């Protein structure tokens, strides 16, 4: 198994260059086809502005989107690497969520930016893509530089469906990692075998991945914070975990650990739902 198509979402934010460079690095590593998709959310224009100067407002917004797309494409062209595999540039007039969700159906891995604090629309976008794309999502933190991801990997394991999906989706990276640690955080006795994490370590071993298994629990600390602390202690450069949540009345509710990690990640995180 390998990644053969990688989709990276680009927008009008300055951190797009970081995830674009990481996406190119991964595409080169796996000899994958890279799709760089530029898509923005629909502009939220007050109704009074549309009523008073609708055509002018729409023209200004179209010009802004066009300029942002051209700037992003220029970054894409500068980041292209000869001999690193095929790459293509796409611009969508759809809102970002629908554009990414559709393109994700035809990719092995989706690269997104971590939503920045106080950006409610960006958070909703990230959550909706994670829960509905049907593909693993690699979130790139909004601070830091990440040029070589996947040498030291931490897997947050709870024997759940989403965690199993994330581990399988991460196999191409895990197969090349220098070290892989599986940690079951506050494991429930009936969810694991005799030793928490041992069975998934055996599963990985059959795929040629050598992984160490451990468990930890600090009841006074929420699991999300325990995961982030373990990432720091292990000096991991990638976290792999399930993305938990459900859709109810069209409102997305993420699990506590997922939300904590999505808010406070310090390294790229590969999540699957």
Q: What does the pLDDT read at residue 11?
A: 94
pTM: 0.90
Q: What does the pLDDT read at residue 119?
A: 85
Pairwise CA distance, residues 150 & 174, whole Å: 7
Q: What does the pLDDT read at residue 253?
A: 46
Q: What does the pLDDT read at residue 245?
A: 65
Place of tokens 């999906």: 165
What structural domains does the chain harbor? 5-140 (3.40.50.620), 152-272 (3.40.50.620)
> Secondary structure of the chain in the HEC alphabet?
CCCCEEEEEECCCCCHHHHHHHHHHHHHHHCCEEEEEECCCCCCCCHHHHHHHHHHHHHHHHHHHHHHHHHHHHHHHHHCCCCCCCEEEEECCCCHHHHHHHHHCCCCEEEEECCCCCCHHHHHHHHHHHHHCCCCEEEECCCCCCCCCCCEEEEEECCCHHHHHHHHHCHHHHCCCCEEEEEEECCCHHHCCCCCCHHHHHHHHHCCCCCEEEEECCCCCCHHHHHHHHHHHHCCCEEEEECCEEEECCEEEECHHHHHHHHHCCCCEEEEC
Q: What does the pLDDT read at residue 249?
A: 35
Q: What does the pLDDT read at residue 251?
A: 38
Pairwise CA distance, residues 21 & 19, whole Å: 5
> What residues of the chain score a pLDDT lower than 70?
42-54, 56-58, 82-85, 190-191, 245-255
Pairwise CA distance, residues 254 & 38, whole Å: 26
Q: What does the pLDDT read at residue 54?
A: 60
């Amino acid at each position: 198994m390998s990644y053969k198509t990688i989709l990276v979402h680009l927008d009008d934010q300055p951190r797009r260059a970081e995830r674009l460079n990481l996406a190119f690095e991964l595409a080169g590593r796996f000899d994958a086809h890279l799709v760089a998709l530029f898509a923005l959310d629909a502009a939220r224009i007050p109704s009074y502005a549309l009523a008073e100067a609708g055509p002018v407002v729409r023209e200004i917004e179209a010009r802004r989107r066009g300029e942002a797309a051209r700037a992003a494409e220029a970054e894409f062209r500068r980041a292209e690497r000869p001999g690193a595999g095929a790459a293509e540039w796409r611009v969508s007039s759809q809102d970002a969520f629908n554009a990414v969700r559709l393109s994700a159906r035809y990719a092995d891995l989706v690269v997104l930016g971590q939503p920045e604090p106080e950006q409610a629309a960006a958070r909703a976008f990230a959550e909706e893509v994670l829960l509905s794309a049907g593909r693993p999502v690699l979130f790139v933190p909004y601070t830091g530089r990440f040029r070589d991801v996947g040498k030291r990997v931490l897997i947050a394991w709870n024997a759940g469906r989403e965690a199993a999906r994330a581990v399988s989706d991460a196999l191409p990276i895990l197969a090349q990692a220098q070290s892989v640690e599986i940690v079951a955080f506050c494991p429930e006795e009936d969810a694991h075998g005799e030793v928490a994490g041992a069975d998934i370590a055996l599963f990985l071993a059959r795929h040629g991945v050598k992984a160490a298994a451990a468990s930890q629990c600090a009841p006074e600390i929420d699991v999300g914070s325990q995961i982030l602390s373990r990432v720091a202690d292990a000096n991991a450069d990638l976290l792999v975990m399930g993305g938990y949540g459900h859709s109810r009345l069209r409102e997305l509710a993420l699990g506590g650990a997922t939300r904590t990690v999505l808010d406070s990640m310090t390294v790229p995180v590969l999540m699957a739902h």
